């Protein structure tokens, strides 16, 4: 994008000596005699053999058989192989090695249901439940190389079967708990999963959701599934097939608590996790024992300063990569994860903050979209809870706007807690850009790439740019990089490696400001081009939410014969404000005043809500397609499918030019 980059502002947070000196990142740098973060970043990408060995040492990763070298790119950068010759089952490092140590008796999982039930599993208790579940899976015929689909709410049994399948050499297939039957069936068939683990149901805002019925419909369309294991989450009668279905308490409860861990290869697959594409079938990113979990733990340690003393609660579902990321990362670090099965504004708007207080959460991960929703309720629900346990706020999922960033920083964090911004993806195993506790933070900013990531921002010709918006790319492989798409290598190469030679093009607009801080400005395929000038949706949306009437916004481009594209903005209004022509004109003028007259919106439309995924990404491609009366493509990841009809209703009332 040719326009000068002006996002950012003044420094909002500077690291105190307490944050800086006690951090794992600072200790890592001292150990390797690196004086600055820039020096660490340079060495980590110039010498991956040294860096990833240092990470394995820092995380105390144990191998059954050591690897001979870290990295092999003989098949090309896109198909890099790691930990050559090593044998490793990551479950040994997440659970087995803690047994017989002090960690065995500390909390691994703190859980809570929407109804208010709470509990704690120690590392020892989790290990024994994992072993029982692993023996149950073996009884069902699951073994090395099989795929086990996880279609469950965030409950303790989900964590147990997550590790149990990997322990016996199988691979997991985490599925979004809100999927419909068609979405589940398509992924089951694509991965050729033989076992589906589900629940009888769960509750959202007090209402039961019949999960088993969805699972049954999916399995009817996926003949590869031979067994269904059912967790009794809410009780009551559910449809049952005695030749296929098994109750968790009956099957798992009678198993031995001893089970050997299969000695897998370091590069053996452990997970296929699907990410929805804008077109075509979803992409199954393949991850390995020495890949995704190591990247997750390294980022948690170096970016979020997580360790054994921390309790992390990341607002997520297991079908979003942040679920496996938290599970692998926190157990590798001997920390505690908090999981919650329910709505975060039920029975009141303070539920999230009550969870933080009740479980002593020290690292809280949210999305900007969630924060904008909670802002509607004001500061009082936050103020009524003691949040002194918090020392890190994390954020991912969508670009920030400054107002919501400052609200979280000041209201929840009291101006003392850093917001560690984090952006990467399912295929990345974590972050390509991130914050840390050693460098200053501006609103909405990232410090830099995490150590080990050779990221850059480039123009259309692949040349580096600064203080200007460009494409986010990575110039070298990293350990968490997907090992390709399941049974679709050509699509993987086309998606990430076809634009510039030996360069991963991630699909995000990014920028680096004059102080070296990084920003993510949205997906490059969401870009709006008006009269030859490209505009990122986040730039427009940040301007709109500055207006006192607007709580949330989405910007799209529609065809225009004169300008190529015209700007259309959908706005969700704050309580007390009503839609109307006068407000629409006021918002148009506000955007034109801030971004220039050529960027004045063609239309301002008002919506009750915007279509979003469970991980809180606003689905701009869906908004644009529905508004233009086109096929919106894959909608299986939507949290609120009713929002699509709201956009369609707006479309039916729109003037002919739209």
Beta strands in 87-139 (DSSP E): 107-113, 118-122
- Among 335-349, 563-577, 587-601, top mean pLDDT goes to 335-349
347 prior amide bond cis, ω within 30: yes
Which pLDDT score, from 0 to 100, does residue 8 have?
A: 59
Based on the fold, state whether residues 81 and 102 are members of the same structural domain.
no
**Looking at the predicted structure, is the pLDDT value of residue 329 above 60?**
yes
What are the residues facing 304 on neighbouring strands? none
Query: What mean pLDDT comes out for the span 127-154?
Result: 98
CB 79 within 8 A of CB 56: no
- Lowest model confidence (mean pLDDT) among 246-260, 353-367, 611-625: 611-625
Structure tokens given for 472: 């986010």
Query: Which pLDDT band holds residue 615 (cuts at 50, 70, 90)?
Result: low
Residue ending a domain, among 253, 286, 318, is 253
Residue ending a domain, among 499, 522, 545, is 522
Q: pLDDT over 90 for what percent of the chain?
A: 81
Indicate if the alpha-carbon torsion angle 175, 180, 183, 189 is positive or negative.
positive
Which pLDDT score, from 0 to 100, does residue 266 have?
A: 98
- Lowest model confidence (mean pLDDT) among 87-101, 421-435, 642-656: 642-656
**Average pLDDT value over all residues in the chain:** 93
Based on the fold, state whether residues 607 and 589 are members of the same structural domain.
yes
Query: Which pLDDT band holds residue 401 (cuts at 50, 70, 90)?
Result: confident
Query: What mean pLDDT comes out for the span 425-435?
Result: 96
Domain assignment of residue 1, yes or no: no
Q: For residue 41, which phi and psi values (nearest 5 degrees)? A: -60, -45
CB 623 within 8 A of CB 556: yes
pLDDT in tens, 296-317: 999 999 999 999 999 999 999 9
Write out the residue range of the structural domain in which residue 128 sits: 97-253
Based on the fold, state whether residues 532 and 644 are members of the same structural domain.
yes
**Looking at the predicted structure, is the pLDDT value of residue 2 above 50?**
no
3-state helix, strand, coil in the chain (%, to 5): 35, 25, 40
Structure tokens given for 388: 């002194």
Based on the fold, state whether residues 381 and 433 are members of the same structural domain.
yes
Based on the fold, state whether residues 514 and 603 are members of the same structural domain.
no
Which pLDDT score, from 0 to 100, does residue 483 have?
A: 98
Domain assignment of residue 459, yes or no: yes
Based on the fold, state whether residues 241 and 359 are members of the same structural domain.
no
- N-terminal to C-terminal alpha carbon distance within the chain: 25
Which pLDDT score, from 0 to 100, does residue 613 have?
A: 77
Structure tokens given for 532: 């030859």
Query: What mean pLDDT comes out for the span 372-394?
Result: 96
Domain assignment of residue 11, yes or no: no
**Looking at the predicted structure, is the pLDDT value of residue 4 above 60?**
no
pLDDT in tens, 538-571: 778 888 998 999 999 999 999 888 777 899 999 9
CB 248 within 8 A of CB 232: yes
Based on the fold, state whether residues 316 and 361 are members of the same structural domain.
yes
**Count of structural domains within the chain:** 3
Rounded Cα–Cα distance for residues 380 and 204 (Å): 24
CATH number at 275 reads 3.40.50.12780
Query: What mean pLDDT comes out for the span 328-333?
Result: 98
Rounded Cα–Cα distance for residues 601 and 599 (Å): 6
Based on the fold, state whether residues 540 and 464 are members of the same structural domain.
no
Residue ending a domain, among 478, 505, 522, is 522
Domain assignment of residue 261, yes or no: no
- Lowest model confidence (mean pLDDT) among 138-152, 254-268, 430-444, 587-601: 587-601
Based on the fold, state whether residues 82 and 101 are members of the same structural domain.
no
Which pLDDT score, from 0 to 100, does residue 621 have?
A: 85
**Looking at the predicted structure, is the pLDDT value of residue 646 above 90?**
no
Which pLDDT score, from 0 to 100, does residue 590 have?
A: 93
**Looking at the predicted structure, is the pLDDT value of residue 129 above 50?**
yes
Based on the fold, state whether residues 211 and 322 are members of the same structural domain.
no
Domain assignment of residue 629, yes or no: yes
Based on the fold, state whether residues 107 and 229 are members of the same structural domain.
yes
With CA atoms as reference, report the closest residue to 205 among 298, 115, 317, 332: 115
Q: For residue 509, which phi and psi values (nearest 5 degrees)? A: -80, 135
Which pLDDT score, from 0 to 100, does residue 656 have?
A: 54
CB 469 within 8 A of CB 3: yes
Query: Which pLDDT band holds residue 229 (cuts at 50, 70, 90)?
Result: very high
Spatial neighbors of 153 by CB under 8 A, at least 6 apart, are 177, 199, 202, 211, 233, 341
Based on the fold, state whether residues 565 and 614 are members of the same structural domain.
yes
83 or 540: which leads in pLDDT = 83
CATH number at 537 reads 3.30.300.30
Domain assignment of residue 5, yes or no: no
Query: What mean pLDDT comes out for the span 204-225?
Result: 96
**Looking at the predicted structure, is the pLDDT value of residue 636 above 50?**
yes
pTM: 0.88
Query: What mean pLDDT comes out for the span 385-390?
Result: 98
**Looking at the predicted structure, is the pLDDT value of residue 658 above 70?**
no
**Looking at the predicted structure, is the pLDDT value of residue 131 above 60?**
yes
Rounded Cα–Cα distance for residues 227 and 609 (Å): 39
Neighbours of 616 (CB within 10 A): 21
Query: What mean pLDDT comes out for the span 645-655?
Result: 81
Rounded Cα–Cα distance for residues 658 and 646 (Å): 16
CATH number at 229 reads 3.40.50.980
53 or 652: which leads in pLDDT = 53
654 or 296: which leads in pLDDT = 296
**Looking at the predicted structure, is the pLDDT value of residue 3 above 80?**
no
What are the residues facing 357 on neighbouring strands? none
Domain assignment of residue 12, yes or no: no
Provide the Cα torsion 178, 182, 184, 185; round to 10°. Answer: 170
| Axis-axis angle for helices 322-332, 156-167 (nearest 10) | 70
Domain assignment of residue 3, yes or no: no
Rounded Cα–Cα distance for residues 161 and 140 (Å): 13
pLDDT in tens, 16-62: 999 999 999 999 999 999 999 999 999 999 999 999 999 999 999 99
**Looking at the predicted structure, is the pLDDT value of residue 614 above 80?**
no
């Amino acid at each position: 994008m040719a326009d000068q980059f002006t996002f950012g502002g003044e420094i909002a947070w500077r690291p105190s000596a307490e944050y800086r000196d006690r951090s794992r990142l600072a200790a890592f740098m001292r150990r390797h005699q690196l004086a600055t973060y820039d020096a660490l970043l340079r060495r980590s990408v110039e010498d991956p053999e040294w860096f990833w060995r240092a990470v394995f040492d820092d995380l105390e990763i144990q191998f059954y058989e050591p690897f001979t070298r870290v990295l092999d790119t003989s098949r090309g950068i896109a198909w890099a192989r790691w930990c050559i010759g090593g044998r490793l089952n990551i479950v040994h490092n997440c659970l087995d090695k803690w047994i017989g140590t002090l960690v065995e008796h500390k909390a691994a999982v703190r859980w809570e249901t929407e109804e208010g039930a709470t509990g704690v599993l120690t590392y020892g208790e989790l290990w024994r439940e994992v072993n029982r579940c692993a023996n149950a899976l073996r009884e069902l015929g699951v073994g090395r190389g099989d795929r086990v689909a996880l279609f469950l709410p965030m409950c303790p049994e989900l964590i147990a079967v997550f590790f149990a399948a990997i322990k016996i050499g199988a691979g997991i297939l985490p599925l979004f708990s809100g999927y419909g039957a068609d979405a589940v069936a398509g992924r089951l068939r694509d991965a050729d999963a033989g076992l589906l683990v589900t629940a009888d149901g769960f509750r959202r805002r007090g209402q039961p959701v019949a999960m088993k019925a969805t699972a049954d419909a999916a399995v009817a369309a996926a003949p590869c599934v031979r067994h269904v294991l059912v967790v009794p989450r809410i009780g009551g009668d559910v449809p049952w097939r005695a030749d296929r279905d098994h109750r968790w308490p009956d099957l798992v409860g009678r198993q031995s608590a001893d089970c050997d861990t299969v000695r897998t290869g370091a590069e053996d697959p452990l997970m296929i996790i699907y990410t929805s594409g804008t077109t075509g079938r979803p992409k199954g990113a393949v991850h390995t024992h020495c890949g995704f979990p190591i990247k997750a733990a390294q980022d948690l340690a170096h970016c979020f300063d997580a360790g054994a003393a921390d309790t992390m609660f990341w607002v997520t579902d297991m079908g979003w990569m942040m679920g496996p990321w938290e599970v692998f990362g926190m157990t590798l670090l001997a920390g505690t994860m908090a999981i919650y099965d329910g709505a975060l504004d039920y029975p009141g708007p303070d539920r999230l903050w009550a969870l933080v207080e009740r479980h002593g959460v020290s690292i809280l991960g949210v999305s900007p979209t969630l924060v904008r929703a909670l802002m509607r309720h004001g500061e009082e629900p936050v103020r009524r809870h003691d949040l002194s346990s918090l020392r890190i706020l994390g954020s991912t999922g969508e670009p920030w706007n400054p107002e919501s960033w400052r609200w979280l920083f000041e209201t929840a964090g009291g101006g003392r807690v850093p917001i560690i911004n984090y952006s990467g993806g399912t295929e990345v195993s974590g972050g390509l850009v991130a914050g840390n506790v050693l460098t200053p933070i501006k609103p909405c900013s990232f410090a830099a790439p995490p150590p080990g990531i050779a990221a850059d921002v480039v123009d259309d010709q692949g040349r580096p740019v600064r203080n200007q918006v460009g494409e986010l790319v990575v110039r070298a492989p990293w350990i968490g990089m997907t090992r390709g798409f399941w049974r679709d290598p050509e699509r993987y190469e086309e998606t990430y490696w076809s634009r510039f030679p030996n360069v991963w093009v991630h699909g995000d607009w990014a920028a680096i400001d004059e102080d070296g801080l990084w920003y993510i400005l949205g997906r490059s395929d969401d870009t709006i081009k008006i009269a030859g000038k490209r505009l990122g949706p986040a730039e427009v949306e940040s301007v709109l939410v500055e207006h006192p009437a607007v709580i949330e916004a989405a910007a799209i481009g529609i065809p225009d014969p004169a300008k190529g594209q015209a700007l259309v903005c959908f706005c969700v209004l704050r309580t007390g404000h009503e839609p109307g022509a006068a407000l629409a004109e006021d918002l148009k003028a506000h955007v034109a005043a801030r971004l220039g007259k050529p960027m004045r919106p063609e239309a301002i439309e008002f919506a009750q809500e915007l279509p979003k995924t469970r991980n809180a990404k606003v689905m701009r491609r869906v908004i644009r397609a529905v508004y233009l009366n086109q096929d919106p493509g894959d909608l299986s990841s939507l949290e609120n499918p009713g929002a699509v009809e709201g956009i369609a209703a707006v479309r039916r009332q729109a003037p002919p030019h739209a």
